[in-house]
Structures are given as C-alpha cells and as structure tokens.
C-alpha cells in the first residue's frame, strides 16, 4: 500500500513537500518512501519547482547517499548550485 500511495498520490513535482511534511509529522514509512524515490529520481526531482524548497540538511543527506541516481556529477553540481545560490 505505501508504494501505491507514492505512485498515485504523490506527483514528482510535490515529493519534496511530501518529504518535509512526513518528516515533520513523524510518518517514517512515507518519509522513507519519499527519500528512496528522490534518490532514485534525483535528476527528475531537481528539475521540479519544489526542489528549491528542500532544506539544506536534506540536500546534504542526498548528496551523501551512495545510491543517488544521476547522469553525471556535473548534473548534481548544477542542480545543487541552483538550489543553494538561486539566480536573481
């Protein structure tokens, strides 16, 4: 059921918000599903409008994961630098 919830109720453009909500609310099952989904789809999530809302500590968590799925390191650098230093 939790995977079904993630698949049908949480759109990729909202997964960062769902992660923050589930973390704050103590919903560890949804929290873990969101974290796994973001790690497996980091490139896709980094292009969403919700990505800049990710807390710096959460971003650091993902950067430390060994299973982060990305095209290459430059893609991670570009998305993270945009999140940390947004253009004016």
Question: What contacts 87, CB < 8 A, 6 or more positions away?
Answer: none
In this structure, are residues 16 and 39 in contact, taking their beta carbons and an 8 Å threshold? no
Q: Which helix (H) or strand (E) holds 44?
A: helix 42-46
* Whole-model pTM over 0.85: no
> What are 2-55's pLDDT values in tens digits?
555 555 555 678 889 989 999 999 999 889 989 998 999 888 888 888 888 899
The 3-state DSSP class for residue 36 equals helix
In this structure, are residues 42 and 68 in contact, taking their beta carbons and an 8 Å threshold? yes
């Amino acid at each position: 059921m939790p995977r079904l919830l993630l698949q049908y109720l949480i759109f990729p453009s909202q997964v960062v918000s769902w992660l923050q909500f589930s973390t704050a609310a103590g919903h560890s099952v949804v929290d873990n599903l969101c974290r796994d989904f973001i790690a497996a789809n980091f490139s896709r999530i980094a292009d969403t409008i919700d990505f800049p809302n990710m807390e710096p500590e959460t971003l650091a968590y993902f950067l430390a994961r060994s299973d982060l799925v990305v095209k290459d390191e430059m893609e991670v650098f570009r998305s993270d630098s945009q999140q940390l230093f947004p253009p004016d």
